[in-house]
Amino acid sequence: MQILFINNDGAGYADRLDIEPATTVAQLFAHQVPYGKPADYLIRVNRQPTTSDQVLHEGDRVSFTPTKIEGA
């Protein structure tokens, strides 16, 4: 199934992503941000705070935004 995945880490990424049905937020995070810890990110599903075990559905909008972004 397809979701809109937004990763506001690094250079920023926003595009459609194919994932397996019944994928949870935690699983998606582990796959897309293997170097990161969920506690260090604002994780939103359809613009709302979510839990790590929330199951994703077709067309969901998922965003990961780091809580620590260093200015210059």
Partner 1 sequence: MEPEHQRQRQRAAWKLAVSVHRLLRSRASQPVSTALSESAWEELRRAEHRLNFVQRHEWHVALGRAQRRFEQARSAVVQRLEHLAQRCDERPLVIPSLADVARDLAALEEEFSSVALDDDELVVVSEPVELDGLRLGEFELRLGLATASRRDLPLTVVAVDPHPAQSNDAVVHPHVSDGRLCAGEGQAPLQRAFVDGRLLDLFQIAAQILATYNPGSAYVELVDWEGIRCAACDDLVAELASCGACGDDVCEGCATTCARCDRTVCDGCSGVCTGCAEACCPNCLHGCSACGRPCCDDCLDEGRCSDCLPEPNEEELNHAEDYETLASECAASDPGPAPQCAAIPAAADASLLP
Give contact residues for partner 1 (rule: CB under 8 A). Answer: 6, 8-14, 42, 44, 46-48, 63, 65-72
Please identify, using beta-carbon distances, which residue of 21 and 71 lies nearer to partner 1: 71
The tokens describing 8, both together, are: 């506001």
Q: How far is the CB of 20 from partner 1 (least distance, A)?
A: 25
Query: Residue 58: which residues within 8 A CB-CB, separation 6 or more?
Result: 1, 2, 3
Q: How far is the CB of 2 from partner 1 (least distance, A)?
A: 17
Query: Residue 52: which residues within 8 A CB-CB, separation 6 or more?
Result: 24, 25, 26, 29, 38, 43
Q: How far is the CB of 48 from partner 1 (least distance, A)?
A: 7
